[in-house]
Amino acid sequence: MTTMLGQNQYGKAENRVVRVTRDGGTHHIKDLNVSVALSGDMDEVHLSGSNANVLPTDTTKNTVFAFAKEYGIDSAEAFGVHLARHFVTSQQPIHRARIRIEEYAWERIPVADTGRGEHSFVRKGQETRTTEVAYDGERWQVISGLAGLVVLNSTDSEFWGFVKDGYTTLQETTDRILATEVNARWRFAWTGGPGQDAPDWEASYAAVRGDLLGAFAETYSLSLQQSLFAMGSRVIDNSAALAAVDEVRLSLPNKHHFLADLAPFGLKNDNEVYLAADRPYGLIEGTVLRDGAEARIPVTD
Ligand X SMILES: O=c1[nH]c(=O)c2[nH]c(=O)[nH]c2[nH]1
Residues with a catalytic annotation lie at 12, 57, 256
Selected from 62, 223, 239, 251, the binder of ligand X by CB under 6 A is 223
Query: Is 211 labelled as part of a ligand binding site?
Result: no
CB 8 within 8 A of CB 46: yes
Q: Is 219 in the site for ligand X (CB under 6 A)?
A: no
Q: Which residues contact 150 (CB under 8 A, 6 or more apart)?
A: 122, 123, 179, 180, 181, 182, 255
Phi (first) and psi of residue 289, to 5 degrees: -120, 145
The minimum distance between CB 207 and ligand X, in angstroms, equals: 26
The minimum distance between CB 254 and ligand X, in angstroms, equals: 6
The minimum distance between CB 142 and ligand X, in angstroms, equals: 31
CB 247 within 8 A of CB 207: no
Query: Is 7 labelled as part of a ligand binding site?
Result: no
Query: Is 225 labelled as part of a ligand binding site?
Result: yes
Contacts of ligand X in 140-199 (CB under 6 A):
159, 170
Q: Which residue is nearest to ligand X (CB)?
A: 224
C-beta atoms surrounding 224 within 10 Å: 22
Binding mask 12-41 for ligand X (x = CB under 6 A): ------------------------------
Q: Which residues contact 80 (CB under 8 A, 6 or more apart)?
A: 34, 99, 101
Query: Is 176 labelled as part of a ligand binding site?
Result: yes
The minimum distance between CB 183 and ligand X, in angstroms, equals: 16
Query: Is 159 labelled as part of a ligand binding site?
Result: yes
Q: Which residues pair with 250 in a beta bridge?
A: 184, 286
* Full DSSP string of 187-205: EES----TT-PPP-HHHHH
C-beta atoms surrounding 126 within 10 Å: 8
Contacts of ligand X in 233-292 (CB under 6 A):
254, 282
Annotated binding site for 5-hydroxyisourate: 57, 159, 176, 225, 254
Q: Which residues here bind ligand X, judged by CB under 6 A?
A: 159, 170, 223-225, 254, 282
